[in-house]
Amino acid sequence: MVDVSELVAQAREGRPRAVARLISLVEGASPQLREVMAALAPLTGGAYVVGLTGSPGVGKSTSTSALVTAYRRAGRRVGVLAVDPSSPFSGGALLGDRVRMSEHASDPGVYIRSMATRGHLGGLAWAAPQAIRVLDAAGCEVILVETVGVGQSEVEIASQADTSVVLLAPGMGDGIQAAKAGILEIGDVYVVNKADRDGADATARELNHMLGLGESRAPGDWRPPIVKTGAARGEGTDEVVQALEKHRAWMEEHGALSTRRTRRAAREVETIAVTSLRERIADLRGDVRLDALAGRVAAGALDPYTAADELVAGVTAPGA
């Protein structure tokens, strides 16, 4: 057992080992997780969460590192959650702490953590919302969350970030990907990276065209900008930061930021509740109540929906 209050106090002082320990408690679903979250709750709400997603090879890690450099130049404390695929053996992150971000490893104003998806779909680790809370409470003013980037399912970041950045690159079929992967709905800022390559202008034009076709925005609604960058050379990064700040200002002006954060909290609460309920139902396997209901369904005496209602009522009743 750890002293949670002491650990939180150390994290507030910016001690990286304390932050690491708290995130490890989150990832490991520690029995003290409830105590940790209760201690962190009054300390959160100050961080600006930026999500970055896109297909493999578009330069997410390089772009994230460039953004870290830009925010640090402005004196901001930055946290990075780099979500990686899971090792099939250990369950840990395959890529570890990103090599492309190693230049920031010795900066006390930057905290970088790789997290494993552990089979969780949507490009994020299941513990990402709680890890974001840890970094927020630890004083990070900007938190960059980089998704795993495994194909077309990395849209969950839109539900976890204040602002979602979608990266594309020329010559990778990303024009087609943009149309069919749902990213036209999740992007608040679009970045065409590797802009020195042939086809960058065409990719930006095609994306702009598709955004125009797909949008059903009222006057005054936010229209996602398209920014061309060369992240490896640090080109265009300041323009991306400006676009992010404009989106944040627009959300604050229209009340969208608090609405988005409330929805995020609602999803987090719902996920925790559903997980708890699922665990309680899983404990019933082999239980006489479940076996009895299953037998009646198999015999045609009861439909599965009514049986499910009875099961849920049973596990949620007081004293169940």
Distances (CA, A) of 315 to 209, 287, 307: 52, 12, 13
Which secondary-structure segment (H or E) carries 237? helix 237-254
Grouping H, G, I as helix, E, B as strand and the rest as coil, residue 78 is strand
pLDDT one-digit tens code per residue, 76-121: 999 999 886 544 444 444 454 455 567 787 888 999 988 765 444 4
On whether the CB atoms of residues 190 and 168 are closer than 8 A, the answer is yes
Tokens representing 22 are: 């708290």
Instruction: Give per-residue pLDDT as tens, 44-78.
Output: 999 999 999 888 788 888 999 999 999 999 999 99
Distances from the Cα of 193 to the Cαs of 29, 55, 84, 206, 232, in angstroms?
37, 12, 21, 14, 9
Give the global pTM: 0.84
CA distance 320 to 311: 11
Amino acid, single-letter form, for residue 268: E
